[in-house]
Structure 1
């Protein structure tokens, strides 16, 4: 039997709470909560250099924040796919297309091999994901068909753009498997927080409750620091007073 924290209605409430915060607030919390191994650099869930594509047309067109569970897709080089096949339940059946299997209410996170110049997503893929009720798409690589992407109204975040179709370099390996986006691991079910102004942060699903609990305290402390600095206190003094 599902616990309250795993019930869909409970998760939706938590996702709505997240949208009251920025991606920076989320990373501040994860920086304190995540344990890193000696020698590792703390990433705090941040997917570096991933931004909204197409970019906003005006300075007032920023779009809405999105928070939803991840569903994942792993692409591999077309010319040298891995020798080990994925589990059968994670494959895309022969004669099917991965986009027709995307899940409503998720952010589709696509792991494209580093250095590829082709696009992982184009206009047709975006239209189909939107029709299936996908909340957004994050591509650790490139996208194309800028006018069609904008017309689809599907929030898309990526590293860059291309004019070349996926088939030039990539092939699908598996769906809903662990992936890595700019060095950050993303598991199916992790919470993807897309902030058009600040960037994309991934919250491990087992840290969602702690993140939501910690963020108000951190934001409150920062608000007090800002007020104190505006009143003439030094940053060093304010940090000591409100962050200690």
Structure 2
């Protein structure tokens, strides 16, 4: 794979990342001189251990609301507080779900807002229904028990109890943001596993994928030898043939694609 191919579809490029570990990609970034670039702050982690995804960044920029929520006099209004808030402050940008495509990772910059459960069990399901393979926020999530039960692939700085009205506003989507000490642009490749989160700029993502693939395969071959010497039963993590076949099929499909 070469990085000078014009107009690389990031959703096609994502397929080259799917088998990779975050560590493989970090090694490849080091190899091209991107030392410590793309490493999201370790405090921002998956809510559930074992969460793993690669996807294409869909960015969301937020700011503190800078205005309080007003008192709601009836139970129906309290139940409907989000829609009331959005109508009052004109947050049509919240309706970004229809912009999502299968393979997107929603990356959210909260702009230093106070602790708030920006992502919860219901709105995260909306994103997943539209194709999001992961959600990342540098703030908090809430309804954490339900998120765990749902298996929602979500990463956050922590959990919170409070809701959006009077605390945070989404003001822009699909723009350059800062999240966890890293610049994220629409179309960047974003990955998460138990080691943490990494963001690969789209400008180098094809080159990095090619290097990281070889890092993974070399490590798998070494570990397969150790497994054999130790008498460990082989598992998917040392199934070199499976990964080689996966990439061979991707390469063959790419070679046959119209140019």
State the TM-score, normalized to the length of structure 1. 0.70
**Partner residue in 1 for 2:74:** none
Tell me, what secondary structure is at the counterpart of 2:106?
A: strand
Partner in structure 2 of residue 69 of structure 1: 56
C-alpha deviation, 1:128, in angstroms: 1.2
Equivalent residues in 2 for 1:154-169, closer than 5 Å? 154-169=152-167
CA RMSD for the aligned pairs? 3.0
Does the 8 Å CA contact 1:99/1:125 hold for their aligned counterparts?
no
Residue aligning to 1:180:
178
Corresponding pairs, count: 200
Gaps of 5+ in 2: 68-88, 230-259
Report the CA distance shift for 1:163/1:102 in structure 2 as closer, same or farther (over 3 A): farther
Shift of 1:5: 6.0
1:110 maps to 2:103: no
Give yes or no for the alignment of 1:47 onto 2:45: no
8 Å Cα contact 1:179/1:186 also seen in 2: yes
Aligned twin of 1:240: none
Structure number, greater radius of gyration:
2
Q: State the partner residue of 1:30.
A: 29
Q: Residue deviations 1:198-227, cap 9 Å, x none?
A: 111111011111112212444466678887
Comparing both chains, which one has the higher relative contact order based on Cα–Cα distances under 8 Å and sequence gaps of 6 or more? 2
Q: Which has the higher helix share?
A: 2
* Residues 198 and 165 of structure 1: CA distance in aligned 2, closer, same or farther (over 3 Å): same
Contact 2:63 2:171 in 1 (8 A): yes
Q: TM (normalized to structure 2)?
A: 0.67
For the 8 Å contact 2:119–2:141, the answer to whether it is kept is yes
Cross-structure match for 1:241: none
Where 2:118 maps in the other structure, the secondary structure is: strand
